[in-house]
A and B are shown apart, each in its own frame.
Chain A
Amino acid sequence: MRGLAVLVAAAFASPLLGAAAPARADGDDFRATPPPPAARPSTFRPPKIEEARLANGVRVLVVERHELPIVAVRIVSDVGAASAPAGVARFAARLARKSRPDASFLEGPRELSSRARVDAFVGYDSTTVSARVLSTQLENAVDFAGDVALKAVFRPLAFEELRKRRADERKRDWSDTVELAYGVMYPQGHPLHDGFWGSESDLGAITLPAMEAYWRRAFSQGHVTAVLVGDVTLARATEVVEKAFGALPSPPGGAAPPLPPTPTVSAALVPGRGPRSIVVYEGETPELAKVVVVGPGPTRTAADFDAMLVLCHALGGSANWSVRWESGFTYGVHGWLEARRDGGLCSVSGDVERAHVAEAVVQILNAYAKRTKEAFEESELARTKDVLGHVIPAQLDTAEGTAGWIADLVVRKLPMSEMTDWPARTERVTSAAVLAAAQRWAEASREQVVVVATEPQALKRDLTALGYEVVVRPPPR
């Protein structure tokens, strides 16, 4: 049976015919030089964010966009992995996603039917349940998200299976360079010293009650904001959020406790770190090595965060230019700055051909060294700021991107005006400010290098000959 009518209308749009350019009126001279930007400036219009609050304190933030029948949902808590023993938060998120109390065959297709893609994940200072859904399925999706957030059942069997799986994965997946960098940058006892999953001993120490306590605290009164973006009104959003989250419990132990203090990055750095060292872990992949160069960074609200963001972005760009475009040693390296309430790391990382890893490390370190000694050329600074200045309009292209941005502002305790304030601040960043940030945060004694490569002793010889201090360590598994 092929019953549905196809609703396609086609028409000739004659007014557009007159737009054709005269044939080769100006020859091919226009090919020699790039065209200037059009006079008409690009004007960014920040989304209009509407707000309501449920009686239990849940904040509801809504941006209406009705071009497509889509809604992006973020149920975000400002409680994150930093406030739990290592590994607990990530275990809880992984299990909560699949531990709904009424999971059944009927529920799976219900989720699929809406393509809600309900997910749960944790960051250093946030816990999120997210969904992307057709607006016709909004209530289903928010109900689903509410079940994941408020009714997750952490079953012993699933927990033990995940723990065993993680133990097996550790033997193979230990070489994530970001997680290794955390181990180098943060001392024992810091929530990230062994990454979001924790060490082997952390793995053994995680308990079901700890996970349950973490999850209940994350989704308790005083911590939860619902962000909905797309084909929805504030009234409708409030209605569906009220239905799913109206019974939000008080936090375990009474009134919402203050977030526990988390160590700042600078304070958490391994004390007494001398001149830069290169830590080489013995890898297993003969042809490819992993490299990360990492240093501390400011808090998201610090005065020099914007300058540091420019710096890290530019470091990634210049390292990629050298290692990829000029040398062909990699498929790509990139730089980024973690945005955290207490300060994240600035990193440049990528996979590099083993035969050229020493050269690649030197090229990346040279990029760092140049940045701590020389101010940006104005053209390079302008180029970097141009790219960063368009990050927000680009991310707000989609409902999911918009919801993600708003959720991040909530977690970082930033005002919604940040969407317009931040591009303006970025535009005001000077080369002197970037140099000052580089000298403060990226000076040579603080950034560290982690490499995962086969034949580590040979690499040590190569790098030692170039004047670097190299430490070879066995795989941390």
Chain B
Amino acid sequence: MGAGAGAGRVALVVALTAATATTAACGGGGSDPKAPSSLTIPLSVGKMKLPNGLVVVLDEDHHTPSVAVNVSYHVGGKDDPRGRSGFAHLFEHLMFQGSAHVKKGELDERLQAAGVQDRNGHTGLDRTVYYEVLPSNQLDLALWLESDRMGFLLASLDQANFDRERNVVKNEWRQNYATRELGFVREIMRSRLFPGDHPYARLPIGTPEELDAATLDDVRAFFSTWYVPSNATLTVVGDFRTADAVKSINRYFASLPTHAVPNDAERRRPRPTTLTRTARITIEADVVDRRVIVEYAAPPWFTQEYADANIAFDMAGSLVHWWLVDEHEWATDVSWGCEPAELASVCQMSVRLKAGAPPDRVLGAIETALSDKSQADVPRRWVVQSVNAETAELVFDFESLRDRADQYGRYEQATGNPVFLARWMAKLTSVDRSDVYDARKKYFAGGHVAALVEPVHGAPIGGRLTTRGAW
């Protein structure tokens, strides 16, 4: 047993409450929005840290007889070993293959027998998350299972399991990327948006070739390095009693060994893109419509700078939609959004062109909407509408037990505050016209990637880079 065992296992619970105020204006009818009114989102959680470093977040909520358990490890695709892209995700799959006291298949079998309503895992750029939603009287079962794979995964590791699960991951790659419309476009664009040694220059799914290169030794090293309590946040949301949960969590997790993860500050350090010009690329794919897709790097997640950039980009999306879909009728639809991440966020806009629409002018419209030349085109009500849109999405994210648990874990790992929602909404609602104008100059006037997707019958549906049809 490790350093965390023994006396001093303290369940120090800090109760955090957050009542969030934001604008809630109506922007219809062409008039300015109504004066902001208060929107209260009551959040009340307990937080404690076990001596082995495991952060625990608890939110009692008895509205339905279920409980969500979420374990978030602060490791993701960005931490893939060199030459092993996709490894963090492959490892996530191995976490479902059994552990010292849970034989292969038993995890799923026991959860099903307990009436599990949802369970899965997912690997992002910065985090890997495992969760279960199950009847509340089965909370201890979920804690037992999670603690066993947190502490004792390697005991069940064998080559056959590893090979089979690697094959499953390759099938996932085939299903969700290779045979998915434009499934490779993000990967192609990220590899241009960020320099080759940037952790975000590749996606967590990796490549079949590098998955094939992975070994059991890689698995052991990865587990030993990253899968420790001090690098994890356990969140429980739902129908339980805090005192009971604290007792159980101590029982199952407090004796797990731990150590500090290496270079922790360094690997969290923001790393902006070094791209200084517009990188135009052409992608051919067996799809129906031409598209223009642009990607910009933005500031790291949950900073004021990211809030400014996020609102500026959202407003630009609305504007581009209006210009291209409604006014010029060059496009059938426009989608846009920003993906917050630890080292650098990414904002993407995708325009589906109508036949005959000029891609150069479509790109020009996007760049104009994001340029610093259009300060006059920033009515206050647009800012408020974009802020409302973003904050509404944040509220929706806190509704289900599963999603709320995930959001607490994410905020905790990003900021050290599971109810950072309140501050994050305050940052968003503080954005005004001058911030939007500044954000355009700072974040969207520099280098970005612009992809023209050309429909080519017989090309991969996922897309491939081509030098033909350069634009």
- Interface residues, chain A, with chain B CB atoms under 8 Å away: 1-13, 16-21, 23-24, 28, 30-45, 65, 67-70, 103-110, 112-115, 132-134, 136-137, 140, 161, 165, 168-169, 172, 285, 287-288, 317, 321, 324-325, 327-331, 351-353, 379, 382-384, 386-387, 389-391, 393-394, 396-399, 401
Contact = CB atoms under 8 A, between A and B. Distances in A.
Contact of A4 (B66, B321, B400, B426): B426
20 contacts: A16-B13, A16-B246, A21-B254, A38-B137, A44-B65, A105-B322, A106-B27, A106-B29, A108-B326, A109-B386, A110-B29, A112-B385, A132-B396, A137-B24, A137-B26, A329-B167, A330-B171, A351-B174, A386-B115, A387-B116
Contacts of A40: 136-137
Interface string B299-328: 000001000000000000010011000100
A13 B248 CA distance: 19
A92 B465 CA distance: 37
B213 interface: no
B63 A34 contact: no
Contact of A8 (B16, B133, B174, B385): B16
Given A23-B7, A34-B110, A353-B174, A165 B288 contact: yes
A68 to B, nearest CB: 6
Contact of A20 (B9, B29, B398): B9
Given A16-B246, A114-B388, A31 B101 contact: yes
A108 B246 contact: no
B330 to A, nearest CB: 13
B73 to A, nearest CB: 20
A21 B322 CA distance: 60
B430 interface: yes
Contact of A390 (B101, B117, B168): B117
Contacts of B101: 31-33
B30 interface: yes
Given A11-B15, A23-B7, A390 B28 contact: no
B247 A21 contact: yes
Nearest to B327: A105
Interface of B: 1, 5-21, 24-30, 33, 37, 39-42, 46, 61, 63-66, 100-101, 104-105, 108-110, 112-118, 133-141, 144-145, 147-148, 152, 163-165, 167-168, 171-172, 174-176, 178-179, 239, 242-244, 246-248, 250-252, 254-255, 286-289, 304, 318, 321-322, 326, 332, 354, 381-382, 384-386, 388-389, 392-393, 395-396, 398-402, 419, 422-423, 426-427, 429-430, 432, 434-435, 461
B432 A5 contact: no
B49 to A, nearest CB: 12
B206 to A, nearest CB: 15
A39 B239 CA distance: 14
A109 B385 contact: yes
Return the 7 tightest CB-CB contacts between A and B, nearest first.
Answer: A394-B117, A42-B65, A115-B392, A328-B164, A20-B11, A13-B15, A136-B24
B14 A10 contact: yes
B251 A21 contact: yes
Contact of B112 (A18, A285, A387): A387
B113 A386 contact: yes
Contacts of A20: 9-11, 246-247, 250
A328 B393 CA distance: 37
Contact of A383 (B11, B113, B239): B113
B399 A68 contact: yes
Contacts of B399: 68, 70, 397-399
A394 B434 CA distance: 45
A41 to B, nearest CB: 6
A115 to B, nearest CB: 4
